């Protein structure tokens, strides 16, 4: 790592059927868990004044099921 910038990922796994159907209650509730995990990573891994980037990527870019 040239600049020693930490990278973290939180992934919400869906089946192919779930990805093309209306959002289910379970997936919707899973977002609350994912948000809590992102907040925990931020609170535990950063200090006041740090710069963070949170990017929501809506596609796994070909990662196999």
What's the pLDDT tens digit per position in 39-50?
999 999 899 999
- From residue 9, alpha-carbon distances to 3, 12, 14, 24 in Å are 18, 10, 16, 23
Tell me if 10 sits within 8 A of 38, measured CB to CB: yes
Instruction: List pLDDT tens digits, range 16-59.
Output: 788 788 888 888 888 888 899 999 999 998 999 999 998 877 66
What is the token pair recorded at 28?
Answer: 């919707």
State which H helix or E strand residue 35 sits in: helix 25-45
Question: Model's pTM, two decimal places?
Answer: 0.68
**Residue-level pLDDT at 39:** 95
pLDDT for residue 65 is more than 80? no
């Amino acid at each position: 790592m040239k600049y020693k910038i930490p990278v973290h990922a939180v992934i919400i796994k869906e089946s192919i059927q779930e990805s093309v159907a209306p959002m289910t209650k379970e997936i919707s509730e899973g977002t609350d868990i994912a948000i809590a995990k992102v907040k925990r990573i931020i609170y535990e891994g950063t200090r006041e004044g740090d710069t963070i980037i949170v990017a929501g990527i809506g596609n796994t870019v070909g990662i196999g099921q």
